[in-house]
Amino acid sequence: MKIHIETERLIIRDLEEHDAKGIFALDSDPEVHQFLGKKPIQTLKEAEEIIAYIRNQYVENGIGRWAVIDKETDDFIGWTGLKYEKELRKEFNYYDLGYRLRKKYWGKGIATETAIESLKYGFEKLNLKEIGAAADIKHLASNKILTKIGLKLIDTFEYNGVPHNWYNLKKTEWLEFSNFG
């Protein structure tokens, strides 16, 4: 198990095969998928396939989403982190910031905390020049988090017929924001 980030309350580590039940609890919830195309998974096998897909990203791109674990209870909270995105924006590839949490962990600041740590990792450890993010324009919580942590709304685009906000943050902007904010 490779731990990438540890905070006071969280462990952020590579997704492992044994996380399948946690991924299933996350991605089978229709409310979690409200702004993700409304296609929750139906089986544990699908959860295992998601983990295999993400673990392959670690090999192919050197980065992929990470598991978020509650340090106190060892509970699987969801995932967070960066991924090299090749499909969402057809006109370009980019490093994408993302997070997805089980419903019982919503509203506790975990998405914000892990997103900040992911930005820090991307800019400090990976030396990325910029990081992007997208959110369904109707997903108010996610849009709020992205602006709160310093990403700039650049424009909107359609993905699968749904309008999304497109955000970006350059390393130079992040350095200014993190030193100020």
Domains of the chain and CATH, by start: 3-180 (3.40.630.30)
pLDDT score recorded for residue 143? 96
pLDDT in tens, 142-158: 999 999 999 999 999 99
φ, ψ for residue 12 (rounded to 5)? Answer: -115, 115
pLDDT in tens, 91-139: 889 999 999 999 999 999 999 999 999 999 999 999 999 999 999 999 9
Predicted confidence (pLDDT) at residue 40 exceeds the cutoff of 80: yes
pLDDT score recorded for residue 135? 96
pLDDT in tens, 41-71: 999 999 999 999 999 999 999 999 999 999 9
In this prediction, residues 17-33 reach a mean pLDDT of 94
**Distance, CA of 49 to CA of 79 (rounded, Å):** 15
The closest of 93, 92, 64, 67 to 78, measured between CA atoms, is 67
How many beta carbons lie within 10 A of that of residue 177, not counting itself?
A: 15
| Side-chain-side CA neighbours of residue 100 (13 Å) | 22
In this prediction, residues 31-35 reach a mean pLDDT of 84
